[in-house]
């Protein structure tokens, strides 16, 4: 696994790097296996140190965790604990998913791509003028990246959403091939949008 440990406005020494490497290797070996790469970033937040962990554990699967504490070690250990809990929750499903993706790769299946846009926010003044809008009235695009549009079951999509800690995930539902969305609701539950289902109640087997 490729590992990078960096600090923003804070020093990261060799002892801390060794602690990070040993901890992540132990967690991944226990619950999943070798990951592709991992990035750990330490930064100052007032009187606290924040640790952010991003682990690429498989094709299209990212695991993100963060925590803040009084020192670097405590912050990292708290974030690493979140990593371990999520991997333990999905241990069996991750391994099954990993085997399925290896089989797809062996068969030469082509990944479907989508464009991910970052748009500039529009405030009241910008709406009245043309400063933050294009000539067609659309928001200005700050950045764009190509991303894989995964073919997943709803359960796999919820797993990816939880592992990555992201608010929303667009995917193609493997059950019927249409675009679906899972998202994190304000009440802590996960929402699922499936235009194909319409008013029908979701089946439990997805």
Domains and CATH numbers, the chain: 2-95 (3.30.160.100), 110-193 (3.30.505.50)
What's the whole-number average pLDDT of the chain? 83
- Provide the pLDDT for residue 120: 82
Give me the mean pLDDT over the 107-130 stretch.
67
Q: Which two three-digit tokens encode residue 21?
A: 């490497």
Average pLDDT value for residue range 4-20: 94
- The whole-number pLDDT of residue 145 equals 79
With 0.75 as the threshold, say if the pTM is over it: no
Q: How confident is the model over 21-53, as pLDDT tens digits?
A: 999 999 999 888 778 899 999 999 889 999 999
Size of the chain in residues:
206
Q: Are 115 and 58 in contact (CB under 8 A)?
A: no
Q: DSSP state, 205?
A: T
CB atoms within 10 A of CB 83: 24
Q: How confident is the model at residue 147 (pLDDT cuts 50, 70, 90)?
A: confident
Reported as a single tens digit per residue, the pLDDT across 171-180 is 999 888 899 9
By the 8 A CB rule, do 42 and 77 touch?
no
| Rounded-to-integer distance, Cα 194 and Cα 206, Å | 12
Percent share of the chain, pLDDT over 90: 50
Calpha distance 156→140 (Å, rounded): 33
Measured in whole angstroms, how far is the alpha carbon of residue 14 from the centre of its chain? Answer: 28
- Tell me if residue 110 falls in helix, strand or coil: coil
Is residue 104 pLDDT above 60, yes or no?
no
């Amino acid at each position: 696994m490729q590992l990078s440990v960096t600090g923003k406005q804070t020093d990261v020494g060799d002892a801390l790097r060794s602690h990070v490497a040993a901890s992540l290797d132990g967690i991944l070996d226990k619950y999943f296996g070798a990951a592709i790469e991992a990035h750990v970033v330490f930064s100052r937040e007032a009187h606290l140190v924040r640790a952010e962990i991003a682990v690429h554990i498989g094709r299209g699967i990212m695991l993100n965790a963060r925590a803040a504490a009084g020192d670097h070690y405590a912050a990292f250990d708290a974030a690493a604990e979140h990593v371990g809990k999520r991997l333990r929750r999905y241990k069996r499903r991750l391994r099954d998913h990993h085997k399925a993706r290896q089989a797809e790769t062996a068969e030469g299946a082509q990944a479907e791509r989508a464009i991910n846009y970052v748009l500039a926010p529009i405030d009241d003044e910008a709406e009245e003028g043309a400063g933050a809008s294009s000539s067609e009235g659309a928001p200005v695009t700050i950045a764009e990246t190509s991303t894989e549009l995964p073919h997943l079951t709803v359960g796999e999509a919820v797993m990816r959403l939880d592992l990555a800690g992201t608010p929303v995930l667009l995917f193609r539902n493997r059950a019927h091939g249409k675009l679906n969305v899972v998202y994190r609701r304000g009440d802590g539950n996960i929402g699922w949008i499936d235009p194909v289902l319409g008013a029908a109640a979701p089946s439990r087997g997805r």
